[in-house]
Chains A and B, each alone.
Chain A
Amino acid sequence: MTWFLGRLVGTPSAQAIVGDLVESAGGHGALWRSSEAWRVVFSLMRYRLRRPGRGTQERPGPRRPHSGRPEHAGNSALQDVRFALRIFRRRPVSTAVAILSLALGIGANTAIFSLLDGILLRPLPIPRPEEVVTTATVFSFPDYEDLRDASAKQFSDLAAWSASSRPYSLATDDGAWPALTELTTGNFFDLLDLRPATGRFLTVDDESRRLPVAVLSHRLWQSAFDGDPLAIGAEVQVNGLPATIIGVAPRGFRGTRVNRSVDLWMPLSLHAQLAPGSFGRLRLDSRETQWLRIMGRLRPGVELTQAETAMLTTTAGLLEQRPSPYLEDFEGLRPATQAAIPREDEVRRFLTLMIAMVAVALLVACTNVANVLLNRTAERRREIGLRMVMGAPRGRLMRQLFTESLLLSLGGGIAALFFARWTLASVHLLQIPGRIILGDVPTRIDATTLAFTMAVAFACSLLFGVAPALAGTRPDPARMINGSAPRRGRWNAPLALAAIQVGLTLALVFSGGLFLRSLVTVLDVPLGFDPTDVYVANVDIGVVGYDNDSAATFRREALAGLEGLPTIERAAWGIFVPVQSGMRMEAFRVVGHELREDEPGNVALNYVSDGFFEALRLPLLAGRTFASTDRSETAPVTIVNEALADIFFPAGGAVGERLIIPGPEGILEMEIVGVAGNTKRRDLREEPSPYLYLPLAQWNWLVGTDRMKIAVRATSSAAGTIDSMRQRLAEVDPMVPITALRTLDDQLFDQAMPQRVGATLLGMFGLLALVLAAVGVYGVVAATMSSRVREIGIRRAVGANDPDVLRLVLRRGLLPVVLGVPLGWLLAFAVAQLIAGFLPGLSPTDPTTFVTATLLVFFTSALACVPPAVRAARHDPAAALRSD
């Protein structure tokens, strides 16, 4: 809004109007959303555009075909613009189609580009990111100090930080927020050279005096404090520790990794008070615990390799004093921008694929618009011919046509920005390879994106403006005016464009189809349990000061509270719930069995409360499940899965056998009391492998206050289950952070993320392209038909009937399809090679997808021929013959 009136049109009068609007709206931010403001802009624009031409020329047409004297350049450009706008107003539908095609095509490009910009081009949104380097390995705090002091020549600063692996709890008066936290040395923000959005950053003084102060991310500031500047100085509790908010990080800065969204930064010296569990017991002054990552800013002119050499010398010196596996592993430095992108190769490939796809969609849109313009130029042949005869130079006419396409792409570009915003908002939950959640990527429609969009729009206008401009002004005024068809060259532009369009569309539909098929395949995999109506949440009692005993009490009371709800059938705890990330491995042996080479010596295990198998409807094949009688003082028991039983007890009879696993104070032996069915553990594509279930009641001493998952089976997908679960858990202890409370079905859906993203985005683009191609084919057929009205009239007069005419039209209409489909096949094969890496288990030339996509494109195109065919068939032959 402000952008529209204020910046774009920097005239003082426009500024005054913006000022008025700001004053009446009482605020700046909401202005562009105010419909009144837009109405003002439109009324003024309408008034100003209409006024100069009013009264002199009502109908579109050349106002001054050729005045005989040289026109003022600025005025004639303006004249071109005004003329183009009149043309647009006369043909609103085709103008809207053209602008919409472009908006969708350019918008999709802008959205993907802004993601690519946020992830690959600016993974680290700080000044001069190329100077910042980081280590791949971890160090102890004294090691860090040594490195810092020894490499002062190479680095202007060296900071250390440790990231919390799970969110801390930030409690304000209004509630608790989960916040991934980085504990940093005081020079962290100085090193990054960032400016706080408000307040100040951590300082070396904060760290050395162990001040309980915290810096918020911009996002957390918005959600927890509504972006209130008074948040600075507010008292909060972080994991129960009273702390003061001192500042807010700039918008878009979410830590040093694109796949982790840090929300809170606090001094490293506070970690003993802040960090829960075993992490909090790490000692800052000990060289034994290596847990800090190091980041440094190179002094100007220092190369990464020089700094690396210096660091290796220092670590070598440290190694002489004492052995350390981490220091031995120290391989050197790498650019922080590179470290910021996990699995960079895969991310790069994925985004490249996406940008290639949207570029194709844009090409389809452009060919479409080119066709619209070509057809329109064909309709205007008489007018253009007249202007030529009147002495208008060809250059002048071409400029006129070019101005039209330029204006179209500008309109498309502006509408594209809105479409891009919408696209970004609607994909913010998706996650791409590298576990990057799209909503975390700082995507803003900023100067770079804007420049990109406008560049694309301009390229489009060149691409689709030139062909019509050339074709439309081929000097042949005599034929143009008498309305004869243009002399056909070897190159039939509309037909070729439609064929290209069909080909590109087929490639897009095929790629979308591949992802979709892979998605269906993945979701079809049997899981080994029933995820329907199961709700799962993370419950982290470690961060709010529980000990082992009170944790057990909390868990008992939580289960009792939840099972008291009428909508809840069964509730249970587990360290893991199937098909989610994370697992624990332990060595194990079957008592009385010699381990063979081909048998696994390690097993994944899970600590679960009784009720776990019932809650997940995980079938029990033999024996019994855990019961309330399995307590710490009774004999240790375990349940194995089918895969384990099949390997070690192929003849059956696993129940009653005994297993051993190492414990902190010697070997622990337990009896197998049941065999459960196999489930997928982490990945939908994995093969079954051995798995142990251990009763939580017997392992509370070990599990203690670790983060656990609670799984609840609801009687039906009752709407209020999530709220009533939260409420019940809050009744037990309101301070315990409950995160990621969702249905298991939803979480399962995340498992198929790459397929889902691909299917969603490519499906969207494929559908878009399909519609555009249909419009394109329709345009070609309709244009051909209108130029062949007389011919059809003659044919009907000499006895052709309706089916004959229909056949004639279809033969013409399917020509671009017949030419385009083989082109599409070639493209599809090429694209499939690109995609193959993302879809294991699916042949990139999957015949089903191939045939389906081809048929879909074929029939959609055929369908587009029907309306012009029907119209041609219904045409009165006498009228057709009379038409000029």
Chain B
Amino acid sequence: MLCMLTNIVGHIFNLSFMAAPMARSEYLGEFEQMVLLSVLRLGENAYGVTVHEEIGRTAGREVRRGAVYVALERLQTKGLVSSAFGSPSTERGGRAKRFYSVEAPGRAALRASRAALMNLWDGVEPELKKL
């Protein structure tokens, strides 16, 4: 019974890791940008906890932890980030950290997003001041 349960739920969970990464470049959402930038800023030390903290600290915005994991997973499926497991530590109950790093498509997507936004911002400043 338990075995069956494990299998079924295991299927549901595993599926996302079996899916082949899609390299298609896509426009990034605001939150995805924040996550990607945080991973970049953190360098070697980017994993769930630090990414969540970094967004909260630099963006001054309280975000849900679950949203961070979902975003990281989505980014990985898109091939924008990759991850690797570190070595287990006792303070985490003997569990490894999953470190993330931004891949080349991720950097490209960030640049594209920035360029798009810069173009859009171009010449808007005077309009803003009017209000």
Residues of A that sit less than 8 Å from B by CB: 2, 6, 8-24, 28, 36, 39-45, 47-49, 51-52, 74, 77-78, 81, 410, 450-451, 454-455, 457-458
Contacts and interface: CB of A to CB of B under 8 A. Distances in A.
| Top 9 A-B pairs, shortest CB-CB distance | A43-B66, A19-B95, A16-B98, A20-B48, A19-B92, A40-B66, A454-B1, A47-B70, A22-B93
Interface stretch (B10-18, B23-31, B35-43): B10-18
Contact of B96 (A8, A12, A41): A12
A24 to B, nearest CB: 5
Contacts of A11: 10, 13-14, 17
A10 B14 CA distance: 10
Contact of B49 (A23, A41, A49, A78): A23
Interface of B: 1-2, 5-6, 8-17, 47-49, 52, 64-67, 69-70, 73-74, 83, 85, 88-89, 91-93, 95-98
Given A16-B96, A22-B93, A23-B49, A47 B73 contact: yes
Contact of A40 (B69, B74, B85): B69
A20 B97 contact: yes
Contact of B8 (A77, A455, A458): A77
Given A23-B91, A48-B16, A77-B8, 15 more contacts: A8-B6, A14-B13, A15-B96, A16-B47, A19-B88, A20-B47, A20-B49, A20-B97, A21-B65, A22-B91, A40-B66, A48-B15, A51-B16, A78-B12, A451-B1
B15 to A, nearest CB: 6
Most B CB contacts (10 A, CB to CB) among A6, A11, A18, A23 go to A23
B73 A16 contact: no
A28 B85 CA distance: 21
Contacts of A19: 88-89, 92-93, 95-97
Contact of B69 (A2, A10, A17, A28): A17
20 contacts: A6-B95, A11-B13, A12-B98, A13-B17, A13-B83, A15-B95, A17-B69, A18-B93, A19-B92, A22-B92, A23-B92, A39-B66, A43-B70, A44-B66, A44-B70, A48-B12, A77-B8, A77-B11, A78-B8, A78-B12
A439 to B, nearest CB: 29
Contacts of B64: 39, 43
A16 B85 contact: yes
Contacts, number: 109
B16 A40 contact: no
B95 A22 contact: yes
A787 to B, nearest CB: 34
Contacts of A28: 93
Contacts of A2: 93
A41 B13 CA distance: 11
Nearest to A38: B66
A52 B16 CA distance: 8
A86 to B, nearest CB: 13
B1 A455 contact: yes
Contacts of B70: 43-44, 47
Contacts of B98: 12-13, 16-17
Contacts of A410: 5
A700 B66 CA distance: 71
B92 A39 contact: no
Contacts of A457: 1
Contacts of B65: 21, 24, 36, 39-40
Most A CB contacts (10 A, CB to CB) among B1, B10, B88 go to B1
Nearest to A82: B12
B12 A81 contact: yes
Nearest to A52: B15
A45 B12 contact: yes
A22 B49 CA distance: 10
Given A11-B14, A16-B48, A24-B49, A43 B96 contact: no
Contacts of B13: 9, 11, 14, 48
A272 B98 CA distance: 62
Contacts of A41: 66
B49 to A, nearest CB: 5
A36 B62 CA distance: 13
Contacts of B83: 13
A48 B8 CA distance: 13
A8 B1 CA distance: 12
Contacts of B15: 48, 52, 78
B68 to A, nearest CB: 9
Contacts of A15: 95-96
A9 B9 contact: yes
Nearest to A2: B93
B17 to A, nearest CB: 7
A6 B17 CA distance: 16
A16 B66 contact: no
A9 B10 contact: yes
B63 to A, nearest CB: 11
A487 B47 CA distance: 61
Contacts of A39: 64-66
A738 B6 CA distance: 52
B66 to A, nearest CB: 3
Contacts of B88: 19
A19 B87 CA distance: 11
B67 A43 contact: yes
Contacts of A43: 64, 66-67, 69-70
A107 to B, nearest CB: 17
A15 B14 CA distance: 13
Contacts of A42: 66
Contacts of A47: 70, 73-74
B31 to A, nearest CB: 13
B4 to A, nearest CB: 8
B11 A12 contact: no
A191 B73 CA distance: 54
A609 B2 CA distance: 64
Nearest to B64: A39
A15 B64 CA distance: 19
Nearest to B3: A454
A266 B28 CA distance: 69
A132 B73 CA distance: 56
A78 B11 CA distance: 7
Most B CB contacts (10 A, CB to CB) among A13, A14, A45, A52 go to A13
B105 to A, nearest CB: 19
Contacts of A52: 15
A195 to B, nearest CB: 21
A749 to B, nearest CB: 41
Contacts of B2: 450-451, 454
Contacts of A22: 91-93, 95
Nearest to A450: B2
Nearest to A27: B93
A725 B74 CA distance: 64
Most B CB contacts (10 A, CB to CB) among A12, A28, A36 go to A12
Given A11-B17, A16-B85, A44 B69 contact: yes
A12 B98 CA distance: 8
A450 B6 CA distance: 14
B71 to A, nearest CB: 9
